[in-house]
Structure 1
Amino acid sequence: MKEFLSRSAEETRGRAREFAETLQRGDIVLLVGTLGAGKTEFVRGICDVFHCTASVSSPTFTLLNIYEGVSKGSAISLYHFDLYRIESETELPAIGFDEYLFGDGVSIVEWADRFPRFFPKQAITVQIEPCGENERRVVISGGKSRF
């Protein structure tokens, strides 16, 4: 488990970049935190490391954004999910969620705590909690985290 305090959005992205250096194909990152906690800022930091050129935004209404990047000289896809608007775990297979989740890219799932039984034990959890106007407590745990 790794824990740190972030005092700005840039610091959150910087720590996410450090974390992303450890990610590999097939990794699943579960982001947990309240609305406005900084989950999407964390994703921006991850996408920086993979040299994604698309603008990173929370896929609240589209459910999934796919960012194309590069890892060790070869193309890689980052699957950025937002489960905020999903009503039931039974909807996930219907949208092809598991095909992406267990695919060859890196999956990043916002609001993952809504359906915890759906994810494998090796998933990495990133908990982000506001603890002041600009401060966030970030705890990275579980899975095969190498951070």
Structure 2
Amino acid sequence: MNRSGPDLALLLLAGFRAMVDEAITELAELGHQDTRPVHDFAMRAIANGAESASELGRSLSITKQSAARTIAVLQERGYVASAPDTRDARRKRLQVTTLGFDVLRQGEAVLNARRRRWAEQIGPEQLEALEDQLAALVGDQPVRFDTPGWMARDLGT
């Protein structure tokens, strides 16, 4: 079969989408309705040091206003909290709550289960070879947290 570059890009996106859609569905069944990929990116960025809306916006390559809206949703759901900054009493510092880390772990478990099913479907060696080949093509580094902003960015077109 002779596929094009766009075909490959769409296949890769479809794989991502299949995994994420399953995670969203299962998280909803576990009581975490309306959890979205951007929430995962945001909680991971916060866990890795984005302590304010400005920092989160820079981490995700989204506007400060979008970051503030995301933070509000995460706080409303109990996934993120703000605490006084011990270094500067005028600031509040964002942190992922125990519930937030639990949602992240549950999402990871769903994705790991999907990976196991794919390994059963095509064989563990084939899946490992695919992962190795993708890593050789794109690098071993995980996708950066700025993926939400990257996907929505305006390239001036």
Which TM-score bucket, shorter chain as reference? Answer: under 0.3
TM-score, with structure 1 as normaliser: 0.25
Q: More strand per residue: 1 or 2?
A: 1
- Structure number with the bigger relative contact order (C-alpha 8 A, sep ≥ 6) is 1
Structure label with greater radius of gyration:
2
